[in-house]
Chain A
Amino acid sequence: MEATAENKTENPAATEAEEERRLVKRAQGGHLPAYDELVTRYQQRIYATVYHMTSNHEDAADIAQETFIKAYQALKSFKGDSSFFTWIYRIAVNKTINFLKQRKNKVHMSLNDFDLNAENDPELVALVSDKTPRRDLNLRELQEKLNEAMSKLSEVHRLVVTMHDIQGLPHEEIGKVLGCNTGTVRSRLFYARQQLQAFLSDFIK
């Protein structure tokens, strides 16, 4: 018993994965509170991914909600070959890409506000004051420029930037979600950054 407790404290990731499996199993059996727990766990990451892809809060909220509902409906088909997070992320990504294809180029931004930490982020302050030719550029303008640049990327390139540079997911995890190898992820990321560099050249001189 003591050894098990020790293992748990030593390997929190394994404990979390085990806890996730248990929740999924109970949710598959129709236990709604277990699924509620899973939604609570992943809502922020799923919402953020969709939001950074669409640059629109309302769309992101709708798609994230649809994602969790569809995932619940398809939960019985989840065999546990990948983690629940990878699986639900894949659903969110597919729904978002379908949505963007339907929306085509009609980008209607509805941007969220920055949190309070943003203004005090030393890296951000350094970027804005040192690198930007317009020193009076405020956060809101920078945010619009960033989202505009993102919207110029293709869906797959926007996706890798969102998952890696914004959300901090490792290449391997992105590969699992997108169903491609890490080499493909790296090359897409490289190409996407090249394009962003061109679009945002004013800010990174």
Chain B
Amino acid sequence: MEQSSEDHDPIRKLMAVKRHELPPPGFFNHFHGRVMDRIADEFEKGKVAWWERALLLFDSKPVMAGTYALTASALFLCGLGFSQMIQTENAQIEIGGRSMVSASLMQPAAFAAEGFAAPVSSMNPVGMEIVAETSPQVGLIPDPSPGGPPSFLFAPAELRAQPVSYGPAGR
């Protein structure tokens, strides 16, 4: 490297010529005055906002700016990953055993298909507030084939009106 440095001597000398390039005469007599005038103008009026100060800080410390940017990106990605993880867990819970929300939204037919009695709320007539008694009789139709689907689903003609124990609220 030292040998190469000697080889570069003429280049160094040529570059040193540039030291003689000078701005117009008197330039530096006024330069600092202009700087101070601008500083006085901008700061006496209190124009510097907090975000401008932050930018200035980053301007003088680019490493800090990079660190902030990386941290912000990492936090964002962590948040994104975390939210996706939560969504996946919820989906698994719903697949394994129906969640309360989805169960409440099931149609009566679906309950019947699974061999359960339909919930009272699903049989609520529109506009009528129904109050259930303590011994609801819904779903008490005898099922001739235990374990299989309720027979009334396959023999609609044999359905008979059953006395139900519901009444409008307040009665």
Contacts and interface: CB of A to CB of B under 8 A. Distances in A.
Chain A CB count within 10 A is highest, among B10, B15, B39, B42, for B15
B8 A112 contact: no
> Main secondary structure on chain A at its contact with chain B?
helix
Nearest to B8: A193
B59 to A, nearest CB: 6
Given A39-B32, A43-B28, A196-B11, A52 B18 contact: yes
B60 A112 contact: no
Contacts of A36: 32, 36
A44 B17 contact: no
Nearest to A42: B32
B16 interface: yes
B57 interface: yes
Interface residues of B, number: 41
Given A40-B32, A65-B31, A114 B11 contact: no
Contacts of A65: 31, 34-35, 38
Given A65-B38, A73-B53, A190-B1, A95 B59 contact: yes
B126 to A, nearest CB: 67
A27 B63 CA distance: 25
Contact of B18 (A72, A78, A166, A190): A166
Top 10 nearest A-B pairs (CB, nearest first) are: A118-B20, A165-B15, A204-B10, A193-B8, A74-B56, A39-B32, A112-B21, A114-B20, A68-B35, A74-B60
